[in-house]
Amino acid sequence: MKLLIPLAEGFEDIEALAVIDILRRAGIQIDIVGVPGTVITSKSGVRVMVDKKLSEMKAEDYDGIVLPGGKAVEILGRTSSLLDTIKKLDARKKLIAAICIAPSILAKTGILDSRKATIYPGFEKELPRPRGDKIVVDENIITSQGPGTAIEFALKIIEILKGQQKAGQIRREIIA
């Protein structure tokens, strides 16, 4: 099980770092990919050394993608190779997860045209079929509303990829 998590300047710390931590606790391999650099600075100034650059990865090497929010969404949403990767993963019915305003990237690719999703409150107009729930799962797509939902979002990803028992184990370990 191998997921891709792209980071760009201004990513939301909690949505990226908490999710990476929780998924790795569940034994899910994560490649943190820089768009475009190798050292990416978060919204609050945390600098992260990524595993590789976006130009070095191939969609077929991954079982899914997780998109954190924050100002980084502007960069990610205009990175054509990332948009192509999302479409390729969706065509293979691989996991696609997005939190905060990152679901707007999924809408831009057209993969949400017939699916329900949620987004950071106030950005509902960015989605074709918005829902007000904190987390929405529709087929292979998981969306979540924001930093405060990051732990539940990560646990939902684990539940879908590794089962309810594994998600419950991690929930107990992190006292969630």
Whole-number mean pLDDT of the chain? 97
Q: Return the C-alpha torsion angle 58, 76, 51, 155, nearest 10.
A: -90
Task: Please give the pLDDT value at position 99.
Answer: 98
Task: Please give the pLDDT value at position 129.
Answer: 95
125-170 pLDDT, tens digit per residue, is 999 999 999 999 999 999 999 999 999 999 999 999 999 999 999 9
Q: 169: burial class by Cβ within 10 Å (0-12, 13-18, 19+)? A: middle
Q: 29: burial class by Cβ within 10 Å (0-12, 13-18, 19+)? A: exposed
99-118 pLDDT, tens digit per residue, is 999 999 999 999 999 999 99
Task: Please give the pLDDT value at position 156.
Answer: 98
Catalytic residue among 100, 101, 105, 161: 100
Q: How many distinct structural domains can be found in the chain? A: 1
pLDDT over 70 percentage in the chain: 100
Q: 126: domain range?
A: 2-173
Task: Please give the pLDDT value at position 85.
Answer: 97
Task: Please give the pLDDT value at position 106.
Answer: 98
Q: Say if residues 97 and 157 touch (Cβ distance below 8 Å).
A: yes
Task: Tell me the pLDDT band of 6, cut-offs 50, 70 and 90.
Answer: very high
29-47 pLDDT, tens digit per residue, is 999 999 999 999 999 999 9
Q: Say which CATH number the domain at 107 has.
A: 3.40.50.880
Please tell me the pTM assigned to this model.
0.97
20 as an active site residue: the answer is: no
